Amino acid sequence: MIDPNAKATSKDGIYGLPFKEHNAQVVYLPIPWDVTTSYQAGTSKGPAAILKASEQIDFFDLDFVDAFQAGFFMKKESAKIKKLNTTGRLLAKKIIDADDESMKKNKLLQKNLAKVNLISEELNREVYLETKNLLNQNKIAVVVGGDHSTPYGAIKAYAEKYPKLGILHFDAHSDTREAYMGFAHSHASIMYNVVETITSISKLVQVGIRDFCEQEYEFTKNNKKIDVYFDQDIARRKLNGEAFQKIAKEIINKLPEHIYISFDIDGLDPRFCPNTGTPVPGGLDYQEVMLILHELVASGKKLVGFDLVEVAPNPKDKGNEWDANVGMRLLYKMTSVSLASLGLIKKRK
């Protein structure tokens, strides 16, 4: 019997819970990955930081009854993925540091770029197979990144299980670059790759976007599957006196029956994620996200899967758990929302 009022320790498992993979409804896949991170590396340490911070959870929730009873389990970080990350990052670093001219002339750099792209494809395959395996057992598979390239394989597996899947994408960045610095599977291209290559996906709704290039703006504007809630537009609507709840409802209304959330922590105001790879001013407030999640459950639509990416611990301040603390709470809430929307746990009111 689990005592929800006792102090948790992450030694027992994520959120201090004693579940194993076989008796857990929700399985978190930690992906320590930051191969193509261009600005600040460190997101590869995100999953471990979230696991450690998860000791701080308090299970009581005003919205849901004892979500943890469904069974949550975080797998061990895969040694293979760790090794791929180390190799890939060393190769990618030289490419990131090189200028356009040397990229054009230097054969070795070009070879390295091709290798990085292969390494990324290998990660996508690993995540896809792992997710597929869990979905076949009717579990919820949750990628915990790592940078934003990590959930591609998971989204592919979810899209196969749920045709016409809709993606709700929280992010500061559009992530719709058609390759970035030559990297075909970088964090900056995930949603481009999702929309272009996973064609059964019926909708992509982006929220909090405030950093993008012209190509991304044109791409999202010209694609009928994509709706963008730019941070600036949300802010101005609020400043003009519109209720955020109306915006939250509108966002959920745009989505189909089956929803997958891809949550880049930097979609939030940077005060909730000061150490993320590429923070941008502005962004959503924590409670605004909570309201969107609340509206999702109220709509009767189903949150079939989700991920959380780009959470990074502070490299200069080891004991500082702030980003991971926010991340683990957001992860717990999304898990509860998913379970409630699927009728697997009870709502409190």
Give me the residues that bind Mn ion (CB under 5 A), please: 148, 171, 173, 175, 264
Q: Which is nearer to Mn ion, 173 or 203 (CB)?
A: 173
Q: Which is nearer to Mn ion, 134 or 142 (CB)?
A: 142
39, 87 contact by CB (below 8 A) = no
114, 92 contact by CB (below 8 A) = no
Give, in order, the Cα–Cα distances in Å from 286 to each of 14, 149, 170, 272, 290: 22, 23, 12, 8, 6
335, 26 contact by CB (below 8 A) = yes
For residue 175, the minimal CB distance to Mn ion (Å) is: 4
Q: Which is nearer to Mn ion, 135 or 234 (CB)?
A: 234
For residue 177, the minimal CB distance to Mn ion (Å) is: 11
Q: How many CB atoms lie within 10 A of CB 163?
A: 10
191, 206 contact by CB (below 8 A) = yes
Q: Which is nearer to Mn ion, 148 or 156 (CB)?
A: 148
For residue 188, the minimal CB distance to Mn ion (Å) is: 7
For residue 304, the minimal CB distance to Mn ion (Å) is: 20
Q: Which is nearer to Mn ion, 139 or 169 (CB)?
A: 169
For residue 267, the minimal CB distance to Mn ion (Å) is: 8
Tokens 């992010």 belong to residue: 171
Q: Which is nearer to Mn ion, 175 or 321 (CB)?
A: 175
For residue 96, the minimal CB distance to Mn ion (Å) is: 17
Alpha helices in the chain, H assignment, sequence order: 46-53, 79-97, 100-105, 107-136, 152-161, 190-197, 214-222, 231-239, 244-253, 286-299, 322-341
